[in-house]
């Protein structure tokens, strides 16, 4: 099932190539939500992950982000988190660039629903980084 999801996502990203910039980098996390804790996971990502990326996009640290969510009653219970950086330098400096955003928006750390901590409701089953290639030879040079 993981391979099927990964193949689907790679295909999805390939369709996005027309919008890709030179040497863009994409980070993709596949998160498995633990049983009956779907609300906690969605709350966590909407109130932490998404907030940080909205600000990072405003500041030009990232070029885009996506959160792909399947139905809560689905067999796989996965959330896919995608963050796109405009170039390799932005990607390499992401931790450094995100640090002030995290401090600004969540100085006391992430917010949680029902006091369930991150490891209580989710696990990362795959983390991958990709260099985005385009069919435009000029953009690759």
Q: Is residue 14 part of a domain?
A: no
For the segment 12-40, what is each residue's pLDDT rounded down to a tens digit?
A: 555 454 444 467 999 999 999 998 899 99
Q: Is residue 126 part of a domain?
A: yes
The tally of domains found in the chain comes to 1
Instruction: In whole angstroms, give the CA distance from residue 48 to residue 99.
Output: 13
Q: What CATH number does residue 90 fall under? A: 3.30.70.100
- Quickly count: other Cβ atoms within 10 Å of residue 78's Cβ: 19
Q: What is the pTM of this model?
A: 0.77
Q: Is residue 26 part of a domain?
A: yes
Q: Is residue 82 part of a domain?
A: yes
Q: Is residue 102 part of a domain?
A: yes
In this predicted structure, the answer to whether residue 65 has a pLDDT above a threshold of 90 is yes
Residue range(s) defining the domain that contains residue 85 = 2-8+22-140
Contact between 25 and 12 (Cβ < 8 Å): no
């Amino acid at each position: 099932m993981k391979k099927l999801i990964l193949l689907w996502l790679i295909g999805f990203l390939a369709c996005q190539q027309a919008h890709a910039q030179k040497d863009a980098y994409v980070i993709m996390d596949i998160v498995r939500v633990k049983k009956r804790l779907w609300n906690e996971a969605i709350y966590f990502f909407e109130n932490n992950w998404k907030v940080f990326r909205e600000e990072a996009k405003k500041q030009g640290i990232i070029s885009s982000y996506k959160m792909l969510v399947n139905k809560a009653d689905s067999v796989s219970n996965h959330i896919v988190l995608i963050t796109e950086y405009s170039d390799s330098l932005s990607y390499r400096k992401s931790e450094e660039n995100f640090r002030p955003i995290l401090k600004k928006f969540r100085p006391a750390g992430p917010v949680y629903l029902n006091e369930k901590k991150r490891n209580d409701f989710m696990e990362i089953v795959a983390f991958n980084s990709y260099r985005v290639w385009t069919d435009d030879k000029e953009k690759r040079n």
